[in-house]
Structure 1
Amino acid sequence: MRRPENAARLFDSAKEKPVRRKPGGAEPDQPARARAERLPESDAAAQARASRDPVQIGSIISEEGRRIERPRRERPEVPQGAELVREVNNRFIFRTDNTYFIERPREERFIIDAREVYYEELPRSRQREVVVRPDGTRIVTIRNRWGDVVRRVKILPDDREIVLVYVEDDYYDEVLEWRDPGLDLPPLDLDIPVRDYILDAEWVEDPEDYYTFLDQPPVEQVERTYSLDEVRRSARIRDKVRRIDLDIINFEFGSAQIPESEIGKLEGVAEAMQRLLKENPGETFLIEGHTDAVGAEVANLALSDQRAEAVATALTNVFDIAPENMETQGYGEQYLKVETQEPERENRRVAIRRITPLVAPVASSE
């Protein structure tokens, strides 16, 4: 895989703007950089540090809840240290530490064609959403007071529960804070070939490469399971897993619609995702949207989020990838692949990461 002469830094966490420290706040420990020889051999090996004791996960529906009406589409409660800047197409744009971030209050893809959807209020200001599919499968999601997903389980018609997302109770309070958990980690500096960390779809000749690449474990240890929102917000945490750059999808300028002629380009990666899901129905994939640096930063952020959503929707509608196995997030122009302020096709891309080992205990998701 070639890299352009003006390629940006390899890791997204190395591209971020410096974080403003609170006055008197302690600097995070920065131990020696992670090295290539520490590459875990499996998801279980990557989680070994976090799962010294077996995780006992009770049923997600065992806790009694009080049925409530569907929550109205209201702007989310803004955590301390963040500022709500704008609402764009049912998306809310925040600013924190000089960086913009976009969120959606609910994942509407999950409820399309549902037989029933209902909501329950749980203790500690949490909400439980239950989406019942036509075949009886239930997708159960628990959110904390900020709307962050802290548990998600797929319950099959035979009542078997497949864990998709799990954050231990001890971390609920930490999830409430708008804080990057990657600040506590050392810089990632792996001495491995770029092609082993980033797969450019443009250079894929054998579709089998998608499966082989996505099936690889994280590139370093996973300290604990993280919430989906922690993974979305933290480039350093996302850097733990490899990524596929789908820069073969050509969006029209300023558009989030995928031309019909481009849909077929998703077939190779879709087949790899299907194969992985057949082996483990608990897999979770993050679909990232990125833009070049042309245009307003806030507008690019909204556009990138819509493009990520469009790819996830296509993967469901055309290739039958279940929506609950995909998360989407737009990052706009924040993580350029090529360092330029000019129009650049390689920056207008969608990326895919398999984030399963970041968000769920391996023993529970398999």
Structure 2
Amino acid sequence: MRDRDTYFIRHDENERFRDLGRGGYRSERRGGDTITYLDRPGGEQIVTIVDDDGRLVRRSRRFRDGREVVIIDNSFGGPRRPIYEDVVDLPPPDIRIPRDRYVVDYEGADERAVYEALSAPPVVAVDRRYTLDQVRYSPQLRARMRSVDINTITFETGSFTVTPDQAARLATIAAAMNQAIRANPQEVFLIEGYTDAVGSDVDNLSLSDRRAQSVATVLTQSFKVPPENLTTQGYGEQYLKVNTQGPSRENRRVTVRRITPLIQQQGQAAPPPR
């Protein structure tokens, strides 16, 4: 979609869950929202609320005894607003840790380094809760969290397929994510997809979003990372790793970062679906 002079991608928030449902997935309309339910072993449900614009409102985990815990709360007060109002204008963070600990090069990192990056607090203080959309669309807000650059997966031009040999290389980051989720079941990780500069802005946004979703799907299907603890966003050819307008395998990549401290959902009980 286009907002002012900038293009943004907003995908179907339930696509990954439908693919994983295998009969345990259903949805219903309630007011202006679509509420979906994904049944999990042991009687748990993942409940997702999406509004008429396709915006994720809330995702929660409902237990067999009726308890419900929010994982992502993307709601805000007031009427619907354009995407550009979700962009938070912040100064760049003052990075006081070594660069290789701030952005971890996955290919050369061990599980300890990856886990540290995916469990560390913000590099500068965060003084309030932000919505998921504010995190998605605000680069300097995301920059307050460390990241892992998964440079073992570089896609073919125009492709969002993760090949079997590349999928196997996700084992280390999957183990780190699962360890973090065991420590805090409400952790949320943002998987960011990117392209090189070849092609149109709109096509590259869509392609990068598919790349992020493909990696999220592999993490769940192959390594049992809970899908509700993952969210994805494509950024197209923004934020090139290698400054070139030509084809670049290094720019066709995916990055993962922990965003839990930015959206601050720990311990919140979910209100009833609207």
Tell me the TM-score normalised to structure 2 length.
0.87
Q: Which amino acid in 2 is paired with 1:141?
A: T
2:23 is the alignment partner of 1:119: no
Q: Equivalents in 2 of 1:229, 1:105: separation in Å?
A: 14
Task: Give the direction of change, closer, same or farther, for the CA distance of 1:184–1:306 in structure 2 (3 Å limit).
Answer: closer
Q: Equivalents in 2 of 1:342, 1:300: separation in Å?
A: 14
2:154 is the alignment partner of 1:250: yes
For 1:67, the equivalent position in structure 2 comes to: none
Structure 1: which 5+ runs fail to align? 1-93
Q: Decide which of 101, 117, 136 is 2:8's aligned counterpart.
A: 101
Which protein shows a greater Rg?
1
Q: How does 1:131-170 map to 2 (within 5 A)?
A: 131-167=38-74
Q: Which amino acid in 2 is paired with 1:345?
A: R
Task: Give the direction of change, closer, same or farther, for the CA distance of 1:280–1:183 in structure 2 (3 Å limit).
Answer: closer
Q: Decide which of 247, 263, 268 is 1:343's aligned counterpart.
A: 247
2:210 is the alignment partner of 1:306: yes
Structure 2: which 5+ runs fail to align? 270-274
Task: Give the direction of change, closer, same or farther, for the CA distance of 1:134–1:361 in structure 2 (3 Å limit).
Answer: closer
For 2:99, the equivalent position in structure 1 comes to: 194
Q: Equivalents in 1 of 2:129, 2:74: separation in Å?
A: 6
2:116 is the alignment partner of 1:212: yes
Task: Give the direction of change, closer, same or farther, for the CA distance of 1:350–1:249 in structure 2 (3 Å limit).
Answer: same
Q: Post-superposition shift, 1:126? A: 4.1
Q: Post-superposition shift, 1:264? A: 1.3
Alpha carbon RMSD of aligned pairs, Å? 2.3
Q: Secondary structure at the match of 1:209?
A: helix
For 2:272, the equivalent position in structure 1 comes to: none
Q: Secondary structure at the match of 2:48?
A: strand
Q: Decide which of 180, 187, 194 is 1:283's aligned counterpart.
A: 187
Q: Secondary structure at the match of 1:172?
A: coil
Q: Which amino acid in 1 is paired with 2:213?
A: E
Task: Give the direction of change, closer, same or farther, for the CA distance of 1:295–1:271 in structure 2 (3 Å limit).
Answer: same
Task: Give the direction of change, closer, same or farther, for the CA distance of 1:128–1:223 in structure 2 (3 Å limit).
Answer: farther
Q: Post-superposition shift, 1:350? A: 0.3
Equivalent residue pairs, number: 267
Tell me the TM-score normalised to structure 1 length.
0.67
Q: Which amino acid in 1 is paired with 2:205?
A: L
CA contact (8 A) 1:199 1:213 kept: yes
Q: Secondary structure at the match of 1:179?
A: helix
Q: Which amino acid in 2 is paired with 1:185?
A: L
Task: Give the direction of change, closer, same or farther, for the CA distance of 1:363–1:132 in structure 2 (3 Å limit).
Answer: closer
Q: Secondary structure at the match of 1:358?
A: helix
Q: Secondary structure at the match of 2:36?
A: strand
